[in-house]
C-alpha cells in the first residue's frame, strides 16, 4: 500500500507542475546505462548479477511506463577513455538517440587501477603523480563524454553517478590517503556534470569509510546487492524522492559466471538468422593485470 500511495502522489505532483523536482521525470522512460562494472552489475565474486542499473529499471517499472532499458554500453573494466570510445560507435548512436534517461558510471578505473591493495596486510599504496595525471585525464574525458551525450541524446536527462570508498577492510591508518583521491574524483565528476547540465548523484555517504556490509570481499571493491540498492536509492533521491527500493523488493540472487555469459551470448548468436547483422559487443581496449579495482582480469563480453 505504501508504494502505491507514493506512486499516486508522485503522479499528482508530476502533472500538477507544482514541484520543480518532478521536471526530470521521463514518461515513458527510455533508460540507457553506460559505464564500468558497477553499471554492468559485477558482484564481489567476479560474476554478473543485479546491479544498481537493474534496480533503477525495476523501480521505474513499478511506478511509471518504461519504453526500454539497455545496459549494453556497460562493461567491466571501462575507463573514461573506454566509455568515450564506446558511445562513439554506430551501435551506441542508435540506442542513445532514443534515450531520454541516461546514467553514467565512469572514472573509478582511471584512479583505482593505480592503487595497490594488499588485502592480507590491509594496506593501500599509490603514486601521487600518477594519480594526478589519471584524474586530469578523467576530467577531460568526462567533459567529452557529456558533450557527446548532449549531441547524441538531446532529449535525455543524464545522471553522473559518484563513487564510494572502495576499501573498508583496510587498516584505519591506510584509509585517509585513498579516500582523499576518491573525493577528488567525485568533485571532478560533480563539476563536469554541472557544467554540462547533467545531474551528479552522490553515493558515498551510505557506504561511509567502513561499509563492509556493502563491500564484503576484502580483495574486491564491488558491492553486493545491498550496496547496489544504496546506489539506486541515491539516484531516486534526485529523480523522484518518493520512490525507494525496499529490502523486500530486492530480487533473489542469480549470478552468472563469465563462462555462462559467453555461452548465453553464443547461443543467442546461433539463433539469429544468417542474413541478420550481429550486434557487436563493446570491447575494452585498456590492459588489466591487477586485482582490487573495478575491472575483470580477462575481457568478457556482457550480454
Digit-coded pLDDT (tens) for 31-55: 999 999 999 999 999 999 999 999 9
Q: Per-residue pLDDT for 139 more than 80? A: yes
Which pLDDT value is given to residue 275?
53
User: Does some domain include residue 3?
Assistant: no
What's the CA gap between 235 and 68, in Å, rounded? Answer: 18
User: Does some domain include residue 12?
Assistant: no
Report residue 294's pLDDT band, with 50, 70 and 90 as the boundaries: low
Report residue 17's pLDDT band, with 50, 70 and 90 as the boundaries: very low
Q: Which residues pair with 115 in a beta bridge?
A: none
Digit-coded pLDDT (tens) for 153-196: 999 999 999 999 999 999 999 999 999 999 999 999 999 999 99
DSSP letters for 39-51: HHTB-TTS-B---
Percent of the chain scoring above 70 in pLDDT: 82
Counted residue by residue, the chain has a size of 303
Q: What share of the chain is helix, strand, coil (3-state, %, to 5)?
A: 45, 15, 40
Look up cell 560474476; give the residue: 47
**Which residue range is the domain that position 111 belongs to?**
23-271
User: Does some domain include residue 18?
Assistant: no
Please answer whether residues 67 and 28 qualify as being in contact, where contact means their C-beta atoms are separated by less than 8 angstroms: yes
Q: What is the pTM of this model?
A: 0.82
Q: What is the CATH number of the domain that holds 221?
A: 3.40.50.1110
Which pLDDT value is given to residue 286?
38
User: Does some domain include residue 68?
Assistant: yes
User: Does some domain include residue 13?
Assistant: no
Q: Which residue has the higher pLDDT, 110 or 2?
A: 110
What's the CA gap between 303 and 285, in Å, rounded? Answer: 18
User: Does some domain include residue 48?
Assistant: yes
User: Does some domain include residue 282?
Assistant: no
Domain count for the chain, please give it.
1
User: Does some domain include residue 296?
Assistant: no
Report the candidate in 200, 227, 202 with the shortest Cα–Cα distance to residue 213.
227
Amino acid at each position: 500500500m505504501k508504494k502505491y500511495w507514493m506512486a499516486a502522489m508522485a503522479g499528482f505532483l508530476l502533472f500538477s507542475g507544482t514541484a520543480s523536482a518532478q521536471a526530470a521525470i521521463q514518461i515513458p522512460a527510455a533508460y540507457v546505462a553506460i559505464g564500468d562494472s558497477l553499471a554492468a552489475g559485477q558482484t564481489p565474486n567476479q560474476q554478473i548479477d543485479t546491479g544498481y542499473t537493474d534496480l533503477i529499471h525495476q523501480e521505474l517499472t513499478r511506478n511509471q511506463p518504461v519504453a526500454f532499458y539497455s545496459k549494453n554500453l556497460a562493461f567491466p573494466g571501462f575507463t573514461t577513455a573506454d566509455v568515450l570510445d564506446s558511445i562513439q560507435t554506430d551501435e551506441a548512436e542508435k540506442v542513445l538517440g532514443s534515450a531520454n534517461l541516461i546514467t553514467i558510471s565512469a572514472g573509478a578505473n582511471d584512479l583505482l587501477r593505480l592503487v595497490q591493495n594488499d588485502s592480507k596486510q590491509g594496506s593501500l599504496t599509490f603514486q601521487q603523480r600518477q594519480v594526478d595525471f589519471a584524474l586530469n585525464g578523467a576530467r577531460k574525458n568526462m567533459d567529452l563524454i557529456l558533450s557527446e551525450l548532449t549531441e547524441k541524446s538531446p532529449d535525455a536527462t543524464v545522471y553522473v553517478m559518484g563513487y564510494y570508498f572502495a576499501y573498508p577492510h583496510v587498516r584505519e591508518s591506510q584509509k585517509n590517503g585513498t579516500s582523499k583521491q576518491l573525493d577528488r574524483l567525485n568533485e571532478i565528476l560533480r563539476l563536469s556534470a554541472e557544467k554540462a547540465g547533467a545531474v551528479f548523484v552522490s553515493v558515498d555517504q551510505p557506504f561511509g569509510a567502513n561499509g563492509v556490509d556493502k563491500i564484503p570481499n576484502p580483495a574486491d571493491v564491488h558491492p553486493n546487492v545491498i550496496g547496489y540498492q544504496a546506489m539506486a536509492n541515491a539516484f531516486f533521491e534526485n529523480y523522484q524522492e518518493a520512490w525507494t527500493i525496499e529490502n523486500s523488493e530486492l530480487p533473489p540472487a542469480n549470478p552468472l559466471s563469465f563462462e555462462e555469459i559467453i555461452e548465453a551470448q553464443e547461443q543467442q548468436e546461433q539463433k539469429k538468422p544468417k542474413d541478420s547483422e550481429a550486434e557487436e559487443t563493446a570491447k575494452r581496449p585498456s590492459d588489466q593485470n591487477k586485482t582490487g579495482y573495478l575491472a575483470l582480469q580477462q575481457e568478457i563480453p556482457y550480454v
